[in-house]
Amino acid sequence: MSDPMRELVGEGGWFEDFTVGQRMRHARASTIDEVEGSFLAKQVMNTAQAHFNEHLLAGSPLGDGRLVFGLATASTVYGLVSQDTAEHAVAELGWDKLRFRAPVHHGDTIEAFTEVLETTDAPGRADAGIVRFKHWGRRHDDVVVFEGERITLIRRRNQQG
């Protein structure tokens, strides 16, 4: 009997496929618009005026127009890296060292990158290992806007049954 998941996921992305120092530039980019920008800030009740007041930042060092909610930027980067780093994830174990390095405005396009920082055996789990990634996103003008580390439990290829 065939495994239906094999048809839905890529050939790579198993624990064994990640090596310390490996770097990836992910294939897709995403332009941030109103949904990611203002809508999410309103849903979580982030009332900072920079997310709602189009004219507040006019002429400021942060640029003109409303700022995109930082966690929307982080989520966009996470989404862009997921196809290559989470196809065979068992569990997300944590995010840390999040840094919002530059402003993102509606209409900015974000692309994502990854570096593998560490791979370790998962205690008590023969079927999976732990990978620590560093992810970062940059705007279309090559300015890094976000970086963070992510720890993920990922299935081993030989234990997929």
* Structure confidence by residue, pLDDT tens digits, 48-89: 888 878 888 888 888 888 889 899 999 999 999 999 999 999
What does the pLDDT read at residue 6?
Answer: 52
Q: Give me the sheet containing 109-122, strands edge to edge.
A: 23-31, 109-122, 125-139, 144-155, 89-100
DSSP 96-138: EEEEE-S--BTT-EEEEEEEEEEEEEETTEEEEEEEEEEEEEE
- How confident is residue 1, by pLDDT bands cut at 50, 70 and 90? very low
What does the pLDDT read at residue 57?
Answer: 86
Q: How far apart are the first and last CA of the chain?
A: 11
**What confidence tens digit (pLDDT) does each residue in 87-100 have?**
999 999 999 999 99
Q: What six digits make up the tokens of 131?
A: 């990978």
What does the pLDDT read at residue 150?
Answer: 98
Q: How far apart are CA 70 and CA 161, in angstroms?
A: 39
Cα angle: 94, vertex 14, 153; to 5 degrees:
20
